[in-house]
């Protein structure tokens, strides 16, 4: 590797943080197997640096982040920096076969990106197979030095990562489902910072404990890293004051229960306003349609200093899985901060308007014996996405033909009662992208379907934040519904739940050239094909174009 003198100086300066602030954050992620004991049984899991959850990435707005990922496991690996804008650096976004070929066993790759215009909490996770079940961690983005938070400075900050644990190997779980055609087994427990807390068949299982001092305020950086389940989160006897989601500040509001979908993050202040005691923290599933979930509640404790470990814990009962009203109370309270310093730049005009159905389907499968010759699939506008064997971004950049087509439909092929169910449950397939010019404004209405069952789908867009300008139940009405859109202070985020049997409208400015994945963040639905990509052309000049690929970009 060639080092310029400037870079040598920067690297030396980073060793002397007292002299000059380091603007380059360097990490090494060794992807390794590690035996891990949960639910009173041990199994090897894929981890980063032997840790579960993985290490937290600490950065400041405007820093450049360099993460060398070294693959020591038998699986192909890639890492996604979920929610990082990756302006012109799609090569570092991470979804396998979309922006890069995976890092193969024994190989390494340097992710290199700059954090621009974002502050708060995001997460990183594996973006290939089902590895993100255990390969995930927090990204903490601090504001620029000297810039305060737009809320009272907390005494301490704590990362709280929610997850799902299977007793079996997760790759075996999804492989079994794919060969049968049926839905995969639900998880065996939820976790809070890697631990389920005591459960009935393993009462000795320890849990995460957050130590607090009476009167102090804490910032919880809460992340849902679960694979397939949206989660409720609450703490007995304490209110949560929400200040940020998906690394964008919100208007603060107080609430007792959060709902958080896989891929989403929420920063909330909590004041230790009791004098002493122990209080239960609970994470439990939100599922308001007839779909099986893991209904085990993960628990942790908030422990006031000076309180004996043996003293009783104040309990809380989590909402039932079908508590739609509890989820809506949280979701409907979210607004962009939209202050002078942090304005909500909502696109007021729309260049490209898409109406996309999201839902399930059933296709024939001769080998699917358990599924009676059928397999469950999922689609967007009736297209079940087929993963290419060459990354789409490479195919785009190097003009390799035959990898993808640009005919992703802007509307469903046929209009039907979307929240009902058509007679024909089959889908088509293809590797289709939707192409837009640089800097165009895009509106996407995501419409849930009732094919097999309506269900809440948390849809994630890579490369952009979007504004959630509207939502509703039933079928979207393009004439009347836009009249109720919030174009002033809608919440800005990167992952949004499409309500079960309803729709959500989002808008974004396509100011980032590249290939950007959009998919359901329930991993089972992504696997089944609920995914597509936007191809955003280069604009004029180098500042509006994808940077050239790094020399160590993995090959397929
Ligand atoms: C990171 O990418 C930038 C271009 O965006 C490049 O100038 C720089 O050399 C890269 N850093 C390393 C260590 O490769
Ligand atoms: C899934 O669950 C079924 C029924 O409990 C069980 O027989 C099977 O072994 C499980 N599959 C895996 C991969 O754990
Ligand atoms: C959890 O699910 C199991 C099996 O699906 C059911 O028997 C049990 O009653 C459920 N528990 C709760 C608390 O809903
Ligand atoms: C939630 O499920 C419970 C038990 O299955 C049922 O009694 C209740 O009516 C449901 N609530 C809603 C709001 O659907
Ligand atoms: C498959 O068909 C058999 C016989 O018709 C039926 O009993 C079984 O429930 C079916 N299984 C599934 C998964 O649909
Ligand atoms: C791909 O094609 C475009 C337009 O035809 C051309 O400008 C570009 O240089 C080509 N890129 C490569 C890497 O060949
Ligand atoms: C669409 O289907 C839903 C669910 O079956 C039903 O409640 C609704 O009345 C239907 N709407 C129309 C316009 O047929
Ligand atoms: C989806 O495509 C399949 C295959 O072409 C077709 O049979 C089916 O009617 C389509 N469904 C919808 C809802 O468009
Ligand atoms: C896509 O659809 C075609 C035609 O129905 C089928 O032959 C092919 O196997 C499908 N490919 C995948 C990957 O499902
Ligand atoms: C992109 O569009 C925005 C909003 O429409 C506009 O303010 C900005 O000047 C445009 N930028 C470029 C580089 O065209
Ligand atoms: C491109 O961006 C760089 C850094 O953001 C800036 O210094 C430069 O002036 C820009 N060049 C053009 C042609 O806009
Ligand atoms: C890993 O990725 C390469 C390149 O796409 C592929 O050829 C290979 O089959 C993959 N290996 C495994 C074990 O999936
Ligand atoms: Cu989904």
C-beta 541 within 6 A of ligand 11? yes
Task: Give 105 Cα–ligand 12 centroid separation in angstroms.
Answer: 9
Its pTM stands at 0.95
What confidence score (pLDDT) does residue 390 get? 98
Domain boundaries, the chain: 5-142, 156-331, 352-544
Which residue has the CA at smallest separation from atom 12 of ligand 6? 398
Q: Residue 2: pLDDT band by 50, 70, 90 thresholds?
A: very low
* Any ligand 7 atom below 6 A from CB of 419: yes
Ligand 5 proximity of 372 Cβ (cutoff 6 Å): yes
User: Mean per-residue pLDDT for 299-320?
Assistant: 94
Q: What are the structure tokens assigned to 227, written together? A: 């694979």
Give the pocket of ligand 10 (CB within 6 Å).
439, 509, 511, 539, 544
Strand order in the sheet with 492-493: 428-430, 383-385, 374-380, 352-364, 441-448, 502-509, 466-473, 492-493
pLDDT, position 440: 98
What is the helix (H) or strand (E) element at residue 221, kind and residue range?
A: strand 217-224
Instruction: Look at residue 10 in the predicted model and tell me its pLDDT.
Output: 52
pLDDT score at 549: 98
- Span 37-49, average pLDDT: 97
Is the CB of 454 within 6 Å of ligand 7? no
Alpha helices in 168-274 (DSSP H): 170-180
Q: Give the DSSP H or E segment for 271.
A: strand 265-271
* pLDDT above 80: residue 5: no
Give pLDDT, residue 16. Answer: 54
Question: 376: CA distance to ligand 1 center in Å?
Answer: 43
- Total residue length of the chain: 556
Which of 74, 76, 77, 171 has most ligand 12 atoms within 8 Å of its beta carbon, as the pocket-test mutant? 76
CA-CA distance, 84 to 246, in Å (whole number)?
A: 10
pLDDT digits (tens, 9 = 90+) for 239-251: 999 999 999 999 9
Is residue 112 within 6 Å of ligand 1 at its C-beta? yes
Report the topology of domain 352-544. Immunoglobulin-like (2.60.40)
pLDDT at residue 18 above 50?
no
- Fold match, 156-331 / 352-544: yes
Residue 398 Cα: closest atom of ligand 6: 13
- Cα of 420 vs centre of ligand 12, distance in Å, is 40
Among 2-6, 8-12, 341-345, 457-461, the minimum mean pLDDT is found in: 2-6
- Predicted local confidence at residue 206, as pLDDT: 82
Tokens of 335: 């607004």
Supply the pLDDT for residue 241: 98
Whether 335 and 467 have beta carbons less than 8 Å apart is answered as no
Percent of the chain surpassing pLDDT 70: 96
pLDDT category, 205, cuts 50, 70, 90?
A: confident
Query: Average pLDDT of 314-328?
Result: 97
| Protein residue closest via CA to atom 7 of ligand 8 | 426
Task: Tell how far the Cα of 279 is from the centroid of ligand 6, in angstroms.
Answer: 60
Ligand 6 in reach of 399 Cβ (< 6 A) = yes
Calculate the average pLDDT of the chain.
95
Predicted pLDDT at 200 = 83
CATH number at 156-331 = 2.60.40.420
- Mean of pLDDT values over 129-144: 98
554 CA closest ligand 12 atom index? 4
Does the pLDDT value for residue 260 go beyond 90? yes
Beta carbon of 547 within 6 Å of any ligand 1 atom? yes
For the cut 60, the answer to whether the pLDDT of residue 3 exceeds it is no
Pairwise CA distance, residues 27 & 46, whole Å = 18
- Spatial contact of 247 and 166, defined as CB atoms under 8 Å apart: no
User: Is 37 near ligand 5, meaning CB less than 6 Å away?
Assistant: no
CB atoms within 5 A of ion ligand 13 belong to 457, 520, 522, 525
Residue with tokens 């804008």: 85
Distance 314 CA to ligand 2 centre (A): 36
Ligand 7 neighbour 206 (Cβ under 6 A): no
Q: What is the pLDDT of residue 9?
A: 52
Tell me, what's the pLDDT at 1? 42
**Region 201-206: what's the mean pLDDT?**
84
Q: Which architecture characterizes domain 5-142 according to CATH?
A: Sandwich (2.60)
Please state the atom number of ligand 12 nearest to the C-alpha of residue 555.
4
Residue whose CA is closest, atom 14 of ligand 11? Answer: 543
pLDDT per position as a tens digit, 486-541: 999 999 999 999 999 999 999 999 999 999 999 999 999 999 999 999 999 999 99
């Amino acid at each position: 590797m060639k080092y310029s003198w400037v870079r040598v100086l920067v690297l030396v300066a980073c060793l002397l943080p007292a002299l000059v602030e380091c603007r380059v954050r360097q990490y090494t992620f060794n992807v390794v197997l590690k035996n891990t004991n949960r639910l009173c049984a041990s199994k090897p899991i894929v981890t980063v640096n032997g840790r579960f959850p993985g290490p937290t990435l600490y950065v400041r707005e405007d820093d450049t982040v360099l993460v060398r990922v070294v693959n020591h496991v038998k699986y192909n690996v890639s890492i996604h920096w979920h929610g990082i804008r990756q302006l012109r650096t799609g090569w570092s976004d991470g979804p396998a076969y979309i922006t890069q070929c995976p890092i193969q066993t024994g190989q390494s790759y340097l992710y290199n990106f700059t954090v621009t215009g974002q502050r708060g909490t995001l997460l990183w996770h594996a973006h290939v197979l089902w590895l993100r079940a255990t390969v995930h961690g927090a990204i903490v983005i601090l504001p620029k030095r000297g810039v305060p938070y737009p809320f009272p400075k907390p005494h301490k900050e704590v990362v709280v990562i929610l997850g799902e644990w299977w007793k079996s190997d997760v790759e075996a779980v999804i492989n079994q489902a794919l060969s049968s055609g049926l839905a995969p087994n639900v998880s065996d427990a939820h976790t809070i910072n890697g631990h389920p807390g005591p459960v009935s068949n393993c009462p000795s299982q320890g849990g995460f404990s957050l130590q607090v001092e009476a009167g102090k305020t804490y910032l919880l950086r809460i992340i849902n890293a679960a694979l397939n389940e949206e989660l409720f989160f609450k703490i007995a006897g304490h209110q949560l004051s929400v200040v940020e989601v998906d690394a964008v500040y919100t208007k603060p509001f107080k609430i007792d229960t959060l709902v958080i979908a896989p891929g989403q993050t929420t920063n909330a202040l909590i004041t230790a306003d009791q004098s002493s005691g122990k209080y239960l923290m609970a994470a439990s599933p939100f599922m308001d349609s007839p779909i099986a979930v893991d209904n085990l509640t993960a628990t942790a404790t908030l422990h006031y200093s000076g309180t004996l470990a043996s003293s009783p814990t104040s309990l809380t009962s989590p909402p039932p899985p079908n508590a739609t009203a509890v989820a809506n109370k949280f979701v409907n309270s979210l607004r962009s901060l939209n202050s002078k310093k942090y304005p909500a730049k909502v696109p007021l005009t729309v260049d490209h308007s898409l109406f996309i159905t999201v839902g399930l389907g059933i296709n024939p499968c001769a080998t699917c014996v358990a599924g009676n010759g059928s397999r469950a699939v999922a689609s967007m506008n009736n297209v079940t996405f087929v993963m290419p064997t060459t990354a789409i971004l490479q195919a785009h950049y190097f003009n390799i033909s035959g990898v993808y087509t640009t005919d992703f439909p802007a509307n469903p092929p046929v209009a039907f009662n979307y929240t009902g169910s058509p007679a024909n449950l089959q889908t088509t397939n293809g590797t289709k992208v939707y192409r837009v010019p640089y800097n165009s404004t895009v509106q996407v209405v995501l419409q849930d379907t009732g094919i097999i069952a309506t269900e809440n789908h948390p849809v994630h867009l890579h490369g952009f934040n979007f504004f959630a300008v509207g939502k509703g139940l039933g079928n979207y009405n393009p004439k009347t519904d836009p009249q109720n859109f919030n174009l002033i202070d809608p919440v800005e985020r990167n992952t949004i739940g499409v309500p079960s049997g309803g729709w959500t409208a989002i808008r974004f400015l396509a100011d980032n050239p590249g290939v950007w994945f959009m998919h359901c963040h329930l991993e089972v639905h992504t696997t089944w094909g609920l995914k597509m990509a936007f191809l955003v052309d280069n604009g004029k000049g180098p500042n509006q174009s994808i940077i050239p690929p790094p020399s160590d970009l993995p090959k397929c």
